[in-house]
Amino acid sequence: MTAEPVVRRDVDPRLLRAFVAVAEELHFTRAAGRLYVAQQALSRDVRRLERELGVALFVRTTRQVTPTADGERLLPYARRVLAAQEDLVAAFTGAARPLLVDLNSPGLISGRVLERARELAPDCELMARFESGLTGAAAEMAAGRLDVSFGRFAGLDPALRAGLDQQPVRYEPMAVLLPDGHPLTALDAVPLAALAGESVYAGAGNPRTPEWTDLAALLFEGRGIEIAPPAPLAVGAEEFGRLMAKKRNPVLAVVGFPAMPGAVLRPLVDPVPLSPVSLVWRKSLVHPGVTALRAAAAELAAEEGWLEKPSDGWVPAKDALIMMSRT
């Protein structure tokens, strides 16, 4: 007697989601964009589903993608499975609860992403938090006290990264915040070489921001620029401004850093250093607010060229690899 082929009974919903996207878009590139994944990853998921079910689901040519008879038969079942999964998640994981989103500091691009996400998902409650640093936020996400944050993913400890997902958002040009009266305020843009001999504050000693201090160390290496020693941890813009006015160190920042009394912001050039910003969330988190944030980040990045790296831009190699990735 010939044994019947065994079909797996625990089909990964991710594979079904990939199949449904391709079946509805009839185009692998569009389907990959819809799911915010690389096209190669999407193709692998579809091939894996075909192997697990033992059937071909699509006829692929250079011009079009067409579902096979088995693909047409699977589609309504797959849609029902995914709908049931969404219902289950909503009932047991608190998908309808407020999503806690760390913006790091007021006035940054993360706030614009949040505003767009609120427009895309008006029924979701997306609550802003200000944890000031991705390392600090990552620890809060791991503990379940925070859901989403923004920052330099490559600068996190690998143990923290293992429990998180990320989506590149922007190569953000960096700047220097200069105290009033500093000679470099006369320049419209500050060449990095002009900071040689300076002691620049980059959050040294702040346990919430070691990823930022590490980025500064990589940028300053070999340029004669020192990282300013640790300062008392300032909470809030007013206290930070008071402390920086007292210390009078230039401060490493980004071009979108909000205006601060007693200081002048100047972009850095020759080369243009870039701060790699990702949207970061817990791997286990399923929430419609995360979907809205990912869509908002992708829309703004496309509209404003946030992921287009300038020809004279500088970014560490390990960051460039992550910024070219898609989850």
Write down the pLDDT at residue 315.
Answer: 96
Distance CA(236)–CA(9), nearest Å, equals 53
For the entire predicted model, the pTM comes to 0.70
Q: Judge whether residue 88 has pLDDT over 70.
A: yes
Determine contact, residues 169/112, Cβ cutoff 8 Å.
no
Q: Identify the band that residue 241 occupies on the pLDDT scale cut at 50, 70 and 90.
A: low
Helix, strand, or coil (residue 141): helix
Mean pLDDT across the chain, nearest whole number?
Answer: 88
| Confidence at residue 62, expressed as pLDDT on a 0 to 100 scale | 77
- Going by pLDDT thresholds of 50, 70 and 90, the confidence category of residue 2 is very low
- How would you write 43-86 as a 3-class SS string? HHHHHHHHHHHCCCCEEECCCCEEECHHHHHHHHHHHHHHHHHH
Query: Does 46 have pLDDT greater than 70?
Result: yes
Which span out of 14-23, 101-110, 241-250 was modeled with the highest average pLDDT?
14-23
Give the Cα separation of 30 and 54 in Å (integer).
25
Res 30: pLDDT: 86
58 or 159, which is more confident: 58
For residues 51 and 55, give the distance between their C-alpha atoms in angstroms, rounded to a whole number: 7
Number of separate helices (H) and strands (E) present in the chain? 11, 13
pLDDT at 98 over 60: yes
196, two tokens: 């040689």
Asked if omega into 158 is within 30° of 0 (cis), the reply is no
122-133 residue pLDDT tens: 989 999 998 778
**Across residues 216-226, what is the average pLDDT?**
96
94, pLDDT greater than 90: no
Q: What are phi and psi of 206, to 5 degrees?
A: -80, 115
Whether residue 250 contacts residue 198, with contact meaning beta carbons closer than 8 Å, is answered with yes
pLDDT over 70 for what percent of the chain?
90
Domains of the chain are: 13-92 (1.10.10.10), 99-171+276-323 (3.40.190.10), 172-273 (3.40.190.10)
Return the axis-axis angle of helices 13-25 and 28-35, rounded to nearest 10°.
Answer: 130
Give the pLDDT confidence score for residue 3 in this predicted structure: 47
Pair 275, 313: CB distance under 8 Å: no
**DSSP 8-state symbol, 143:** T
DSSP letter at 201 equals B
Q: What is the pLDDT of residue 1?
A: 45
Answer yes or no: is pLDDT of 70 > 90.
yes
- Residue-wise pLDDT for 262-313, tens only, equals 889 999 999 999 999 999 998 878 889 999 999 999 999 999 999 999 999 9
